[in-house]
Amino acid sequence: MENLLVNAATAFGLIVAAEMGDKSQLVCMGLAARHRGWPVLLGATAAFALLSLIAVVFGASVDHWLPDWLVAAVVAVLFTVFAVQSWRAEPEPLETVAEKPGHGVLMNAFLLIFLAEFGDKTQLATAALSSELSPLGVWAGATAALATTSALGVVAGRTVLQRLPIHLIHRIAAVLFFAFALVAAYQALSPFIH
Protein backbone atom coordinates (compact mmCIF):
# COMPACT_ATOMS: atom_id res chain seq x y z
CA MET A 1 0.00 0.00 0.00
CA GLU A 2 2.86 2.37 0.84
CA ASN A 3 4.44 1.77 -2.58
CA LEU A 4 1.10 2.54 -4.24
CA LEU A 5 0.87 5.85 -2.38
CA VAL A 6 4.46 6.77 -3.28
CA ASN A 7 3.77 6.01 -6.94
CA ALA A 8 0.56 8.05 -6.83
CA ALA A 9 2.39 10.96 -5.19
CA THR A 10 5.17 10.75 -7.78
CA ALA A 11 2.69 10.83 -10.67
CA PHE A 12 0.71 13.61 -8.98
CA GLY A 13 3.74 15.88 -8.54
CA LEU A 14 5.06 15.39 -12.05
CA ILE A 15 1.70 15.79 -13.80
CA VAL A 16 0.61 18.85 -11.77
CA ALA A 17 3.85 20.63 -12.60
CA ALA A 18 3.57 19.67 -16.28
CA GLU A 19 -0.08 20.68 -16.66
CA MET A 20 -0.10 24.07 -14.88
CA GLY A 21 -0.91 26.79 -17.40
CA ASP A 22 -1.57 24.25 -20.15
CA LYS A 23 -4.44 24.42 -22.62
CA SER A 24 -6.77 22.15 -20.64
CA GLN A 25 -6.58 24.48 -17.65
CA LEU A 26 -7.37 27.40 -19.92
CA VAL A 27 -10.31 25.52 -21.46
CA CYS A 28 -11.71 24.99 -17.94
CA MET A 29 -11.24 28.67 -17.18
CA GLY A 30 -13.03 29.68 -20.39
CA LEU A 31 -15.97 27.36 -19.76
CA ALA A 32 -16.21 28.30 -16.08
CA ALA A 33 -16.31 31.99 -16.99
CA ARG A 34 -19.64 31.35 -18.77
CA HIS A 35 -21.10 28.41 -16.85
CA ARG A 36 -21.31 26.93 -13.37
CA GLY A 37 -18.02 25.43 -12.26
CA TRP A 38 -19.18 21.99 -11.10
CA PRO A 39 -20.29 20.63 -14.49
CA VAL A 40 -17.06 21.92 -16.04
CA LEU A 41 -14.95 20.27 -13.36
CA LEU A 42 -16.88 16.99 -13.50
CA GLY A 43 -16.64 16.81 -17.29
CA ALA A 44 -12.92 17.59 -17.26
CA THR A 45 -12.25 15.08 -14.48
CA ALA A 46 -14.17 12.34 -16.31
CA ALA A 47 -12.19 13.03 -19.49
CA PHE A 48 -8.90 12.96 -17.60
CA ALA A 49 -9.81 9.74 -15.78
CA LEU A 50 -10.48 8.05 -19.14
CA LEU A 51 -7.34 9.51 -20.76
CA SER A 52 -5.21 8.40 -17.82
CA LEU A 53 -6.74 4.92 -17.94
CA ILE A 54 -5.91 4.61 -21.64
CA ALA A 55 -2.35 5.79 -20.97
CA VAL A 56 -1.84 3.44 -18.02
CA VAL A 57 -3.17 0.39 -19.90
CA PHE A 58 -0.88 1.21 -22.82
CA GLY A 59 2.16 1.85 -20.62
CA ALA A 60 1.68 -1.28 -18.52
CA SER A 61 1.11 -3.39 -21.66
CA VAL A 62 4.25 -2.10 -23.33
CA ASP A 63 6.18 -3.03 -20.20
CA HIS A 64 5.16 -6.68 -20.71
CA TRP A 65 5.91 -6.78 -24.45
CA LEU A 66 9.35 -5.21 -24.55
CA PRO A 67 12.56 -5.77 -22.59
CA ASP A 68 12.89 -3.62 -19.47
CA TRP A 69 16.03 -1.87 -20.73
CA LEU A 70 14.29 -0.81 -23.96
CA VAL A 71 11.22 0.53 -22.12
CA ALA A 72 13.52 2.46 -19.76
CA ALA A 73 15.48 3.88 -22.72
CA VAL A 74 12.27 5.06 -24.43
CA VAL A 75 11.06 6.58 -21.15
CA ALA A 76 14.40 8.37 -20.73
CA VAL A 77 14.16 9.85 -24.24
CA LEU A 78 10.50 10.88 -23.80
CA PHE A 79 11.16 12.53 -20.44
CA THR A 80 14.19 14.35 -21.84
CA VAL A 81 12.05 15.71 -24.69
CA PHE A 82 9.34 16.73 -22.20
CA ALA A 83 11.99 18.42 -20.03
CA VAL A 84 13.21 20.50 -22.97
CA GLN A 85 9.64 21.37 -24.02
CA SER A 86 8.71 22.39 -20.48
CA TRP A 87 11.87 24.47 -20.07
CA ARG A 88 11.15 26.35 -23.30
CA ALA A 89 7.35 26.58 -22.82
CA GLU A 90 5.61 29.91 -23.06
CA PRO A 91 2.25 30.53 -21.36
CA GLU A 92 -0.55 29.67 -23.75
CA PRO A 93 -3.00 32.45 -24.60
CA LEU A 94 -6.58 32.14 -23.42
CA GLU A 95 -8.63 31.19 -26.43
CA THR A 96 -12.35 31.46 -26.99
CA VAL A 97 -13.92 28.10 -26.30
CA ALA A 98 -16.35 27.00 -28.98
CA GLU A 99 -19.28 25.08 -27.62
CA LYS A 100 -21.37 22.63 -29.58
CA PRO A 101 -25.09 23.33 -29.39
CA GLY A 102 -27.31 20.62 -27.95
CA HIS A 103 -24.72 19.32 -25.48
CA GLY A 104 -24.69 20.06 -21.80
CA VAL A 105 -21.82 21.88 -20.14
CA LEU A 106 -20.53 18.64 -18.62
CA MET A 107 -20.44 16.95 -22.03
CA ASN A 108 -18.80 20.00 -23.63
CA ALA A 109 -16.08 19.99 -20.97
CA PHE A 110 -15.60 16.23 -21.40
CA LEU A 111 -15.32 16.41 -25.19
CA LEU A 112 -13.13 19.51 -25.27
CA ILE A 113 -10.67 18.11 -22.73
CA PHE A 114 -10.65 14.61 -24.23
CA LEU A 115 -9.95 15.87 -27.74
CA ALA A 116 -7.44 18.52 -26.66
CA GLU A 117 -5.44 16.20 -24.41
CA PHE A 118 -5.46 12.90 -26.35
CA GLY A 119 -1.80 12.15 -27.06
CA ASP A 120 -0.63 15.22 -25.09
CA LYS A 121 2.62 15.19 -23.11
CA THR A 122 0.84 14.45 -19.84
CA GLN A 123 -0.85 11.39 -21.34
CA LEU A 124 2.47 10.17 -22.74
CA ALA A 125 4.16 10.88 -19.40
CA THR A 126 1.44 8.88 -17.63
CA ALA A 127 2.01 5.97 -20.02
CA ALA A 128 5.76 6.16 -19.45
CA LEU A 129 5.37 6.29 -15.66
CA SER A 130 3.01 3.30 -15.67
CA SER A 131 5.64 1.24 -17.47
CA GLU A 132 7.99 1.87 -14.54
CA LEU A 133 5.68 2.25 -11.51
CA SER A 134 2.43 0.74 -10.20
CA PRO A 135 -0.23 1.36 -12.88
CA LEU A 136 -2.97 1.85 -10.28
CA GLY A 137 -0.86 4.38 -8.37
CA VAL A 138 0.05 6.22 -11.56
CA TRP A 139 -3.59 6.33 -12.69
CA ALA A 140 -4.76 7.63 -9.32
CA GLY A 141 -1.99 10.22 -9.09
CA ALA A 142 -2.31 11.42 -12.68
CA THR A 143 -6.10 11.66 -12.52
CA ALA A 144 -5.95 13.53 -9.19
CA ALA A 145 -3.30 15.88 -10.60
CA LEU A 146 -5.33 16.66 -13.71
CA ALA A 147 -8.50 17.14 -11.66
CA THR A 148 -6.55 19.50 -9.39
CA THR A 149 -5.25 21.62 -12.26
CA SER A 150 -8.74 21.71 -13.75
CA ALA A 151 -10.18 22.82 -10.41
CA LEU A 152 -7.54 25.54 -10.18
CA GLY A 153 -8.52 26.66 -13.67
CA VAL A 154 -12.18 26.78 -12.72
CA VAL A 155 -11.59 28.57 -9.39
CA ALA A 156 -8.63 30.81 -10.10
CA GLY A 157 -10.05 32.73 -13.03
CA ARG A 158 -8.12 34.43 -15.73
CA THR A 159 -6.64 37.32 -13.71
CA VAL A 160 -5.30 35.16 -10.85
CA LEU A 161 -3.72 32.63 -13.22
CA GLN A 162 -1.97 35.39 -15.16
CA ARG A 163 -0.30 36.59 -11.95
CA LEU A 164 1.26 33.20 -11.22
CA PRO A 165 4.80 32.75 -12.51
CA ILE A 166 3.82 30.09 -15.04
CA HIS A 167 7.32 30.08 -16.54
CA LEU A 168 8.66 29.06 -13.12
CA ILE A 169 6.16 26.21 -12.89
CA HIS A 170 7.20 25.06 -16.37
CA ARG A 171 10.85 25.13 -15.25
CA ILE A 172 10.04 22.99 -12.21
CA ALA A 173 8.27 20.52 -14.50
CA ALA A 174 11.35 20.48 -16.74
CA VAL A 175 13.62 19.64 -13.79
CA LEU A 176 11.26 16.86 -12.66
CA PHE A 177 11.07 15.40 -16.17
CA PHE A 178 14.86 15.53 -16.47
CA ALA A 179 15.32 13.83 -13.09
CA PHE A 180 12.98 11.01 -14.18
CA ALA A 181 14.86 10.81 -17.50
CA LEU A 182 18.14 10.30 -15.61
CA VAL A 183 16.63 7.54 -13.47
CA ALA A 184 15.19 5.83 -16.56
CA ALA A 185 18.52 6.17 -18.42
CA TYR A 186 20.30 4.53 -15.50
CA GLN A 187 17.74 1.69 -15.56
CA ALA A 188 18.23 1.30 -19.31
CA LEU A 189 22.02 1.13 -19.05
CA SER A 190 22.34 -0.93 -15.87
CA PRO A 191 22.00 -4.36 -17.56
CA PHE A 192 24.92 -3.48 -19.82
CA ILE A 193 27.12 -2.00 -17.08
CA HIS A 194 27.02 -4.97 -14.70
Question: Is the torsion defined by CA of 32, 45, 13, 52 positive or negative?
Answer: negative
Give the number of domains in the chain: 1
Whether this prediction's pTM lies above 0.75 is answered by no
- The answer to whether the CB of 100 falls within 8 A of the CB of 111 is yes
What pLDDT tens digit does each residue of the chain (194 aa) get? Answer: 778 899 999 999 989 888 877 777 777 877 777 778 888 899 999 999 999 999 999 988 887 788 878 878 887 888 788 788 878 877 555 444 444 443 588 998 898 888 878 888 888 889 989 988 999 999 999 999 999 999 988 886 544 544 556 677 667 767 877 887 898 888 889 888 86
**Residue 168 is part of which domain span?**
2-193
Task: Count CB neighbours of 129 within 10 A.
Answer: 28
